[in-house]
Each structure stands twice: as C-alpha cells, then as structure tokens.
Amino acid sequence: MAPQAQTVAMPPRLPLVAAAENRDSDSTKDAKLVNCYIEKMAGGHYEIYKRAGLSSPVRTKTGAGRGQFNWNGNIYEIFADTVYKNGTALTGTVDTTNGVYRFAVTRGATPYLIIGNGVKAYTITAADVLAVIPDADFPAAFVKGWAFLDSTLYVMDSSANIWGSALNNPTSWDPLNKIVAQIESDKGVALAKQLAYVIAFKEASTEAFYDAGNATGSPLGPVQGVKIEYGCASAETVQDIDGTLVWVSMRSGGVQVVKMDRLKAEVVSTRPIERLIEKSVNFSTETIFSWQLKTEGHSFYVITFKTANITLAFDLVEDFWSHWSVSGDYVPIVSSTSTAIPQHLVQGESDGNVFYVGREYTNDNGAIIRADIITPNFDGGSKRRKTLSMLEVVGDQVVGSEIKVRFNDNDYDPLKWTNFRTINLANKSPRLPNCGTFVRRATHFRHESNTRMRISAVELQIDMGTI
C-alpha cells in the first residue's frame, strides 16, 4: 500500500528576498530581483516594491545627455554642446568629447557654477554668462570631479597633481598652488570631497587631504594614516550620496564596488555582482553611467554597463543589490538631480529627454515596467516529493494589478520553465491552485501591470509525499 501524502504546515512562506545569486558572469540563472527593491519591516520580514517609474518628458532637447545640476533653484542641463537653464539655451557651446560633465559651485562676491568633463572646463555666472576658464595655469588635461574646500576649488590631473584656484575665483589659478597625491605612484582618476577632506581617487589607491593652512604653495596637506587600498576604475562610477562616496574599484585585477563614509572604506559588492561587473571590461566614458536616486526613504546608487546591457542598483539603506531595466535592456539614464520641492529629475542618454522619476509613475514614459522576482531553488529542507496544492500572494490589493507565476524544477534550465499563469491581485485572497509536484523548485513572479506593486509574502500549502 502506497504511503499517504501528509499535509504539513512547513514552510508556511516561500523565501522571496534573495540577493543576486548568478553563478556565472551573466544573470540568466539563479535568484534575482528585477525592477524591484526591498524594505525591512518591523518584526524582521521584508516586503518587495516595484521601482520608481519615469514620467512623460518634462522637456526635450537635441543630442546626448551630458549632465544636470540644481544651482540656486534653477536646473542646468547639458545636451550635446549646449547648456540650458530651465530649458532655455545659454549663449555659447561646450565640448562634447568626454561624456557626462561634473559640477561645482564657488561662493564669494561673484558666485560661479563650474562644469568640466576632463577635457574642457567652463564657468557660468549668475547672469548666465558661459565662458571657458581663461587662466593658462589651469591644467590643460584634468580628471573629472571637483572639490571646493575653504573658498578654494581643487582639480586634479592624471599625474595626481592637485591644483587650487584663487579664493572664490575659479577663473584664476596659481601654478604654485599644487600638491601631489603620491603615497603610491599610480595615476589620478577622479577628485571628490568628503566632510572637510579632498579625496583623490587614483588607479590603485585613494588618498585624503585637509586644509593645513600653508602660507605658500597648496593649502592642502595629506591626512596622515589615511590611505585606502581601493583605486577607481573610472570617474564615471563615482557618486556622492549624502556625503557617502560610492565607486567601482579595480584592485589586483579584481573589480569591486566600494563605499566610503567618514574616510572609512567598505566593499559593498557581493561576489555575484562582481562577476557581472567583470563581464564589462570596457570602462570608457561613453559606455558606463552612474547616477543616484532618493525616494521614499531609500538611497540608490545606480550604475549602467552599456556593453554588458545591464543596470544594477544598490540600496544604501537596505544594503541590497537588484537589477533594473527598461523594456528588458539597460536603463538609458546618465545623470540625476532634484528640484527644490523636491522632485527627482533624470536625464536620458541620447533621446534629449528629461523625466521626473518617482513611485507615483507606474510605467516608464508609457512603457510597462516589468518587475521580476525569481526565487532561489526551494526544497523545504527535504528531498521528498512535495505537492503544492495552493499558493497565495500577500500584498496590496489593487484593481488592474496582476501577477504571473511560473515554475522551474530543473535548476533554472531556460527550456524547462512552465507557462505563466495569472493571479488577480485585486482579489481578497489572490491564490493559484494546483501548482504541481516537485522536489526542488524555483519560482518566477512577474508583474507588468500599470499599477504599483507591493508583495509582502507568498504563503504555501504543501502536501509532503515520498522520497
């Protein structure tokens, strides 16, 4: 007589939240979240949300996006060779050869907005006069990034020389106002600021400087004992998110994502994320973009590797990575800023568009956001066969919201996924019956409705069978 199946209470819920688990340098296998982020709730459990969407274009210009910045409540944007203020073009043109510009502001009697792309640098006055920095002592070739400290604007060249401007005057540069980042002999890559320190990113190391008040030469002095063993793979990866610096580092041939807070560096990339990044060995200015987004209590570092067709988002609040995409491809955004309200603005890579971004937008400028939750392989702690009589999705009940479900009992074999079945999330108890028998299973949930999505849990009714 065959053994009878037994209904058991274990496990009551399917594990949903899993960091990217790709075993190879692509993401076709294993668990991941796409176009989602997580939020830890009281009691320790997590909920999954669909990421913020894009509005219809706020304005449309011509050419590739080259950066945007909020200065005195006005939004300055660069498209192709033109700088715009609140959508109106300034007189003059800028260089277009080296990707996205970096911005800085100086104070004093004549405030300036400064922009630079590592090839050319310009000042913009409050009267919107655009001009090339005229001083012949300004370095002819420099790396991206600025640091404004105690009335002096600093810039670095590829030889790791850090040059300083006259006080509150980025149009004047003293050739003696120079210090070299030379704990190691590697080349300069990018410059930034943290707290009251100038941060020099180099190829294999990072150094910090403070205002030493020197009467001659550079006011800067090296911060003793601060040498960070992580260099910078590309200036395009550097973002300052509320005083925390995040960047992609190259070290001993390996690639990591590093964050630095109060001069303390920490690797935040996981091994699966590093496998994905190592796939994109091209760190040129036109193939890698990074930007940031703060929304509903979360701070995201978003980085795109165009040659690998992948966008990754790191949530600094939850310490969690997920994949983001637009229509199945990388997210074609190159920069971000915000208005005073605040409203978050992002700039398109090549379409000339500027968009609002937020969870109130449930699609990407009309294109559906496909949110995917692919779970780890699940066996309930047993090799016995299990019959899944019912699964129920616990989350927001929204009219028009559906979630599709399919299964794979063959270790993510792309040819062995079942067909999708649909659950109406507007139902009081959104359930899927008769989900088959398995020993070990991955589950794929897909939400592509034009609504918000919040999934708290998936509850299971399992009948345990024989081995």
Q: What is the DSSP string of 377-409?
A: PB-TT--S-EEEEEEEEEE---TT-EEEEEEES
DSSP bridge partners of 37: 49
Percentage helix, strand, coil, to 5, in the chain? 5, 50, 45
Residue 137 per-residue DSSP state: T
Q: Are residues 453 and 341 in the same domain?
A: no
Q: Are 30 and 412 in contact (CB under 8 A)?
A: yes
Distances from the Cα of 334 to the Cαs of 256, 371, 467, in angstroms?
21, 22, 53
pLDDT at 1: 45
Cα angle value 206/107/212 (rounded, 5°): 45
Q: Which residue has the tokens 């129920």?
A: 392
Cα angle value 79/80/82 (rounded, 5°): 65
Q: Are residues 205 and 308 in the same domain?
A: yes
**Other beta carbons less than 10 A from residue 39's beta carbon:** 19
Assess if residue 397 is contained within a domain: yes
Distances from the Cα of 130 to the Cαs of 44, 83, 152, 164, in angstroms?
53, 9, 20, 21
Q: CA–CA separation, 219 vs 211, rounded Å?
A: 6
Q: How many domains in the chain?
A: 2
Final residue before a domain boundary, out of 365, 385, 404:
365
Q: Which residue has the tokens 């509320």?
A: 242
- Reference 80, options 67, 68, 93, 63; nearest CA is 63
Structure tokens at 397: 């009940």
Distances from the Cα of 214 to the Cαs of 58, 134, 178, 183, 195, in angstroms?
48, 26, 11, 20, 20
Q: Are residues 100 and 239 in the same domain?
A: yes
Indicate the pLDDT class of residue 340, thresholds 50, 70 and 90: confident
Q: CA–CA separation, 417 vs 437, rounded Å?
A: 14
pLDDT in tens, 312-323: 999 999 999 999
Assess if residue 39 is contained within a domain: no
Q: Which residue has the tokens 């990113």?
A: 201
Q: Are residues 443 and 310 in the same domain?
A: no
CATH code of residue 416: 2.60.120
pLDDT at 27: 81
pLDDT in tens, 158-203: 999 999 999 999 999 999 999 999 999 999 999 999 999 999 999 9
32 vs 7 pLDDT, higher one: 32
Q: Are residues 198 and 302 in the same domain?
A: yes
Contacts of 185 (CB under 8 A, 6+ apart): none
**Residue-averaged pLDDT of the chain:** 93
pLDDT at 20: 82
| CA torsion through residues 124, 121, 189, 218, sign | negative
Burial label for 253, CB within 10 Å (0-12, 13-18, 19+), is exposed
User: Domain of 448?
Assistant: 6-16+375-464
Indicate the pLDDT class of residue 52, thresholds 50, 70 and 90: very high
pLDDT in tens, 404-419: 999 999 999 999 999 9
Assess if residue 41 is contained within a domain: no
Final residue before a domain boundary, out of 333, 365, 397:
365
Say if residue 254's pLDDT is above 90.
Answer: no
Say if residue 38's pLDDT is above 70.
Answer: yes
pLDDT at 467: 56
Q: Are residues 287 and 148 in the same domain?
A: yes
Q: Are 77 and 83 in contact (CB under 8 A)?
A: yes
pLDDT at 284: 67
- Expressed in angstroms, the distance from the first to the final Cα of the chain is 15
Say if residue 8's pLDDT is above 70.
Answer: no
pLDDT in tens, 199-246: 999 999 999 999 999 999 999 999 998 999 999 999 999 999 999 999
pLDDT in tens, 238-253: 999 999 999 999 877 7
Q: Are residues 406 and 334 in the same domain?
A: no
Assess if residue 29 is contained within a domain: no
Assess if residue 38 is contained within a domain: no
Q: Are residues 323 and 218 in the same domain?
A: yes
Query: Which of 177-181, 330-334, 338-342, 389-393 has the weakest average pLDDT?
Result: 338-342
Distance of CA 348 to the CA centre of its chain: 15
Say if residue 153's pLDDT is above 90.
Answer: yes
% of the chain at pLDDT higher than 90: 84
